[in-house]
Structure 1
Amino acid sequence: MLNTRLVRPLSALLLLWVACAPGAVIAAANGAGADARLDSLGHKIASEQRLRLIVTLAPGQEPVLANPRAAFAANPALHQLRQDAVARLQQRLQQRLQSGALGDASRNRILKRFSNQPALVLDADSALFAQLRSDPAVSYIQEDHRLRPVLDLSVPRIGADITAANGFSGAGWAVAVLDSGVDGGHDFLAGKVIDEACFSSSQQSIDLYSLCPAGTDTQIGPGAGINCSGVNGCSHGTHVAGIAAGSNSTMTGVAPGAKVIAIQVFSELRNPSYCGSASCIVAFDSDIIAAMEYVYNHRGNYPVAAVNLSLGGGLYASAASCDADNQQTKAVIDELRAVGIATVIASGNESASSQIASPGCISTAISVGATTATDTVANFSNSASWLSLLAPGTAINSSVPGNAFQSWSGTSMATPHVAGAFAVLRSAAAGASVDELLAALAGTGVPVTDARNGVTTGRIQLDAAVASLTAGPAPVTLVIDNQDGNTQRTGTWKTSTAAGAWNNQSLYATGSASFRWLPQLTAAHSYAVYAWWTYHKNRSTAVPYTIAHANGTSTVEVNQRDPALAGDWVLLGSYDFAGDGSGYVEVSGANGQACADAVRLVPVSGPVGANQPPQVAIVQPGSGAVYDEGDSVVLAGTASDSEDGDLAGAIAWQSSLDGDLGSGTPLALTTLSAGTHTITATVTDSAGATATAAIELAVRAA
């Protein structure tokens, strides 16, 4: 984010994705705390006399809108039916406004319509707000907030020079820059801009003026996305675009092969008390939503890797509260994510240590904080526990209009590092999901701990992320039991009667007898090796386990007579294994009675001896599942940890709509609310490390 702030106008939005029962009012759709939120909004309208509101319309007699978002992305005909249904809903409300059924028609008008979302923007007074608040045709109301902007050595710092040299430059992909416009004539951006649009609200009653070149609120086509001029902040978009995809003979952006879709989303606000000067640029939520809809609807023209939003306004202390206040923005972010387009947003420059600015605070956005040249969190950068990534954001040299360059700082500058990184990753793994690409960036990033809050977040290391995506299938956890085929034994091994065996059977022997487990590894990797045995009073206190690995053999002696160690996974150490099948784990009775039960190999990504984070996966239901309200929804998952073993019973489940759902697996629910849920499974190990997995499901209203 630029230090010259980006305003996001988000006046009230009415949003709803699933059908409401007849007579439902927006308080129900807004969920817990809706009355207080709407009361607060009403007080603001009364104080300011008028306010821009985003109003979401209840689908009512338009059942096509109850389909999950993925269905529209996969079926162009259904997508057209959705747009037709949205237009009919908007037309019905317009007719009621014009007829005077909702108050004085001369005082209230429609400012903007959306093409995909069942919502529109109104210039509303208190009387209209009171009518809409209890109107069954309305499902959600929010303010159309104002947002403001937030801001050569950073490219090698994140390894982007290496990825480009290796042929991964983002070629064939585009980054959509939703900002103050882009100077496509700049040498650093020559030939980069492939599509242009402008969504810039005007409203003389609040001294708001469009910055589209034609002076209209919407402009599409060549020249529409050129940088604005004459107002502080109009250079911002050109600087951002250069970081993401710029290139010339002496320096490059993160993705020098990528193209740019330039979309101007700012308006000029002539309000000295708000701006601190005669005027400033601001971006309303509604214009940002319209711009993201444009990217979604035109994604077939050119593959888009990411949408960049280096803007924000308004701090949130939780993703849940942010999602609740920004439902329509989240809906479009989710639609983009479902078709493989990441929405990358600045965390903000307010120096907050437990808050993120909107819309970067939205749970499904990729939020980005800023680091310094020494890999510390920049003092201006907002941070919170759910921050997605970090990237360089201080003293970043990039293009500005007039064929010049300037060095700026801000989370605005960090954000296009990540947007460009998504383009590079797409050139390495075109078919990967946004979740997979984000995991690659987060999992290979340089860990940076924010001294203000103790939160550790990965600063992107692009060459490592590309390597992780191009190295073939990821290594997986292996468990080999004594009854499996890939084992060998010498001497006499007898079946033990001891309780607590891994798979109902353990063996024991003495003397020269040995038992060997043979993991069939096809790729070289480092693994933490664990053993499981049963307790018996006759077991040796120094049972030797020998591990054959890529660097030779190692022997570890364990006390199998200690009941506290039996019946659990005990770490034997971490070792590098070759991918040629030569490795093994062997136990022998050389030091007295030994038990042979099972061994477990867990991939290690960090240094040997460091706590390894747990792993969690959702196995039921599949993402995109659709249920009717009242159906039994069974959530099931797996979870394990290198040090703690099986953690499936500790999985905590949460819904983006209903909050905490319970723990354990399987978990059966019949009370999920109607709507589109992001279901998250979280597990925490004994050292405090966490892992999450998420799916999306839809519940249709009864």
Structure 2
Amino acid sequence: MLSAATLLLLPLALAAPTQPPEETFIVKMKDGLIKAEAVNGVLSSLGVDPRFTYEHAFSGFAATLKPDMVKTLLANPDIEFVEKDGKVSIYETQSGADWGLARLSSQKPNATTYSYDDSAGEGTCAFILDTGIDASNEEFEGRAKFLANFADKDDTDGHGHGTHVAGTIGSKTYGVAKKASLFGVKVLDAQGSGDNSAVIKGMDLIAKEASKQKCPKGIVVNMSLGGSKSASVNAAAARIVQAGLFLAVAAGNDGADASRYSPASEPLACTVGATTRTDTLAKYSNTGSIVDVLAPGSNITSTWLNSKTKSISGTSMASPHVAGIAAYFLGTGQKVEGLCEYIAKQALKQSVTGVPKDTVNLLIHNGYQKGSDRS
């Protein structure tokens, strides 16, 4: 993040005397301004065309700027900050086998049945910021829609990661909330990578479009992606939650402190670490005090492209378990306010081994009592 006080910290390349490079920056306007007018005024004064404009996640834009333009923006009292665009990617690791869904309704590991209330997230909507979604997959039963693309020119899931995540949230066989409506917002390309500016545009769209969908029981958002800590990504994530949506985010796969990553470091998001089928913290999972809950993440089987399935691992797989259980709880009548705390309250305590002292030992559980089991 850049401010007038930190201008001297800009890379030396920005001060090159000949043909200074142009780079993409994310610009956030101060709150309280008339959004469209403020953004348009700044863009007009710079004489640039934006890559994206933001109105709902926050007021601002992303554009390719020369160093002198950055200096001009830093001197503008209407600008809160200017941040260089950064890279984000999926949090996926190796392949394996299935077990995670049954763990959500069992008191012990190695269960083979998933028991749940048959409301199953009906009346809820899940927005998935990812590589897209293969909405034609029969596992989605017509409840899935590819909503928008900010990553490339291919309006399909060219990778499979987004379809896998969506399947964990709400597919008929592998989903936690089997009756939820699913909306894919593509912000990552076929290699599973993208830019902060595109991710923020995806959040901006969700903040705008969510209320237009038929979601009487509530809305959840999942972000199984991340990159280095970013003030702009965190600001947009916070606004999503403040707008009344539940946001689950992956903690990250570097075995490091999740507070160094975004959106994992945003306090208002529900940040999720990953466990294995033996109730051990996954070695790759990021940790730290910012993590809210733990969820199955290793060797998770879910939907894939062309109506196939695949087993993959990562905090990318843990986060949609939490988004799914959030939709499930909303479907039973819980409110979105305080929902991450409610999920933590329902979780199994001290059941995971290998958890460091600065990280919660809370393994998510749906709290379902057997009697009219579904599986």
TM-score interval, normalised by the smaller of the two chains: 0.7 to 0.9
Shift of 1:139: 2.4
Aligned residue in 2 for 1:115 = 55
Structure 1 counterpart SS, 2:205? helix
Cα 1:39/1:366, change in 2 over 3 Å: farther
Aligned with residue 157 of structure 2, among 227, 238, 246: 227
> Over aligned residues, Cα RMSD in angstroms?
2.5
Structure 2 match to 1:173:
124
Identity within the alignment, %: 25
Return the alpha-carbon distance in structure 2 between the equivalents of residues 423 and 457 of structure 1.
22
Does 1:425 pair with 2:366?
A: no
**For 2:70, which of 119, 126, 129 is the aligned residue?**
129
* 1:376 lines up with 2:317 in the alignment: no
Find out whether 1:139 has 2:83 as its counterpart: no
| 2:137–2:307 Cα contact (<8 Å) kept | yes
The higher relative CO (CA closer than 8 Å, separation ≥ 6) is in 2
Q: Which residue of 2 aligns with 1:501?
A: none
C-alpha deviation, 1:375, in angstroms: 0.9
TM-score, normalised by the number of residues in structure 2: 0.85
Offset from partner CA, 1:330-369 (integer Å, 9 cap, x none): 3333333234311111111111156452111111111111
| 1:502-513 matches, cutoff 5 A | none
Question: Residues 411-450 of structure 1: matches in 2 within 5 Å?
Answer: 411-430=315-334, 432-435=335-338, 437-446=339-348, 447=350, 448=352, 450=354
Contact 1:449 1:456 in 2 (8 A): no
**2:205: which partner in 1?**
294
> What amino acid maps onto 2:199 in structure 1?
I
The unaligned stretches of length 5 or more in structure 1 are 1-11, 15-25, 28-34, 60-64, 67-84, 99-107, 201-209, 214-225, 229-233, 269-279, 315-321, 468-702
The alpha-carbon distance between structure 1 residues 168 and 40, as it changes in their structure 2 partners (threshold 3 A), is farther
Q: Aligned equivalents of 2:51 and 2:122: distance in 1?
A: 38
**What secondary structure is seen at the aligned counterpart in 2 of 1:367?**
strand
For the residue of structure 1 that corresponds to 2:80, the secondary structure is strand
Number of matched residues? Answer: 350
- Superposed displacement of residue 94, structure 1: 2.0
The aligned residue for residue 105 of structure 1 is none
1:306–1:423: 8 Å Cα contact kept in structure 2?
yes
Within-5 A mapping of 1:72-87: 85-87=34-36
Pairing 1:459-474 to 2, within 5 Å after superposition: 459-463=363-367
Asked if 1:305 corresponds to 2:202, the answer is no
Change over 3 Å in CA distance of 1:402–1:194 after alignment to 2: closer
Tell me if structure 2 keeps the 8 A contact 1:369–1:383. yes
Q: Which of the pair has more CA radius of gyration?
A: 1
In structure 2, what residue type is equivalent to 1:440? Answer: Y
Alignment of 1:352-367 (within 5 A): 352-353=256-257, 355-367=259-271
Q: Give the structure with the larger helix fraction.
A: 2
Residue equivalent to 1:188:
139
Report the CA distance between 1:156 and its aligned residue. 1.1
Q: 5+ residue gaps in structure 2? A: 93-97, 107-112, 371-375
Q: Matches of 2:245 and 2:192 in 1, distance apart?
A: 27
Give the superposition deviation at 1:145: 1.3
Equivalent in the alignment of 1:573: none
Task: Decide whether aligned partners of structure 1 residues 185 and 404 sit closer, same or farther in structure 2, where only a CA change above 3 A counts.
Answer: same
8 Å CA contact retained: 2:87, 2:196: yes
CA deviations 1:44-91 (Å, max 9, x no partner) are 6458923211112246xxxxx26xxxxxxxxxxxxxxxxxx2111121
Residue pair 2:126, 2:182 contacting (<8 A) in 1 also:
yes
Q: CA deviation at 1:163?
A: 5.1
Q: 1:92 aligns with which of 33, 41, 44?
A: 41
Offset of residue 411 of structure 1? 0.5
Equivalent pair of 1:356/1:384 in contact (CA under 8 Å):
no
Q: 1:450 & 1:39 partners in 2: Cα distance?
A: 43
Measure, in 1, the Cα distance between the counterparts of 2:114 and 2:299: 21
State the partner residue of 1:39.
8
The aligned counterpart of 1:238 is: 163
Q: Distance in 2 between matches of 1:93 and 1:402?
A: 45
For residues 39 and 368 of structure 1, do their structure 2 counterparts lie closer, same or farther at Cα, with a shift above 3 Å needed? Answer: farther
| Distance of 2:51 and 2:328 partners within structure 1 | 38
Which is strand-richer, 1 or 2?
A: 1
